[in-house]
Amino acid sequence: HEQVGVNKFKQFDCVVDYSDHYYYHQSKPNQKCNSHGTMMINNRNTMKRIMKEWEILEKNLPASIFVRVYEGRIDLLRAAIIGASKTPYHNGLFFFDLQFPSDYPNNPPKVYYRSFGLRLNPNLYNSGYVCLSLLNTWGGKGTERWCPDKSTILQVLLSLQGLVLNEKPYYNEPGIKPAWSWESYNADVFALSCKTMLYLMKKPARNFECFIAAHFRDHASVILKACVAYRNGRVRIGLFDGDAPVGSKKKKVNVSKKFKDSMNELYPELYKAFNRIGASLKNLPEKLEDDGDGKPANGIIGKLKRFWEAMTA
């Protein structure tokens, strides 16, 4: 990848290539396209509203959301959301493909999450289905649901970032739940977020190739340090702020064997992937060899510890 910084990547831009967009490949029974695949919108109000949406996005996107619209298909849009700090999604990238319906804004946009077959949130299915009141794909009242006169694409993206990709996604699923289980869920979420990073670097979304590489070059060190800190139980998953030293021995929270094993597997894969794109990985190990108490995981104590965990699991 050409080493272009994230700060040089426009937050909003109009591009040409939509060939890997999810909705480009879906059947379009209510839409007419010319021989070049360009959407033909007969409804002038829909056209004007889409143009207004573009203007709103160009002027008001927060620094953590990037959008691409398409010159030849104004009904399509792609958004990248950076996972917020103080969540298990921190420093991750999450891509959504959107489509304006032909009667927009009477009906909300269709939204597809590029999941790679992983379900890292109750609202984001591994099929790509997005469950959200604002999209009328989940129950809601009043302003929680799509309102043609007031709701916007920007509101949808902010809801995905703030309400869906939040600090305790475990509670996004309705119903009474044990209070302690959110931490276990966050552990699974962080591991799936790491897997998503690997998939994105292997098969980046079109028109975001340089952005994905630049983002992970910038954040590789913090992501890897978070893997170590979480795996060794030094901080609750989702709360790593990038300052905890990798060699710290003090344990703060209990960590399941399942999560430790997932980090032992994912960490070296992330290290290699980050190294390939030119990230600075100074003073970071290529794999996790410390079990959190300062003793080698492959030593006799580490072997005995794993044997005991296996016997008592």
- How do residues 121-130 score in pLDDT, each as one tens digit? 999 999 999 9
Of the listed ranges 31-45, 98-112, 235-249, the least confidently predicted one is 31-45
d(CA 289, CA 163): 37
- pLDDT of 33 reads 55
Look at residue 1 in the predicted model and tell me its pLDDT: 43
d(CA 217, CA 43): 44
Q: Is the pLDDT of residue 247 over 60?
A: no
Residues 88/186, Cβ–Cβ less than 8 Å: yes
Q: What is the pLDDT of residue 69?
A: 98
- Give 3 or 45, the one with higher predicted confidence: 45
Burial grade of 157 (CB within 10 A; 0-12, 13-18, 19 or more): buried
What pLDDT does 42 receive? 63
Distance CA 16, CA 23 (A): 15
| Domains parsed from the chain with CATH numbers | 12-302 (3.10.110.10)
Label residue 243 exposed, middle or buried (CB < 10 Å: 0-12, 13-18, 19+): exposed
Residues contacting 293, CB < 8 A, separation 6+: 249, 251
Which whole number is the average pLDDT over 66-82? 96
The mean pLDDT of 10-20, rounded to a whole number, is: 96
Residue 175 CB neighbour total at 10 angstroms: 5
Residue 31 makes CB contacts below 8 A (sequence gap 6+) with 39, 40, 75, 102
C-beta separation of 255 from 261 below 8 A: no
Q: What integer pLDDT is reported at residue 138 of this predicted model?
A: 84
Out of 255-264, 276-285, 297-306, pick the least confident.
297-306
What backbone phi and psi angles, to 5 degrees, belong to 233?
Answer: 70, 25
Query: Tokens 């979420």 appear where?
Result: 189
143-202: pLDDT as tens digits: 789 999 999 999 999 999 999 999 999 999 887 677 778 999 999 999 999 999 999 999
- Decide: pTM greater than 0.85: yes
Average pLDDT over residues 297-310: 51
Average pLDDT over residues 123-143: 89
Mean pLDDT lowest among 43-52, 62-71, 235-244: 235-244
- What number is the average pLDDT over the span 234-263? 81
Cβ atoms 18, 71 nearer than 8 A: no
Catalytic residues: 131
Q: Using the 8-state DSSP alphabet, how is residue 100 labeled?
A: -
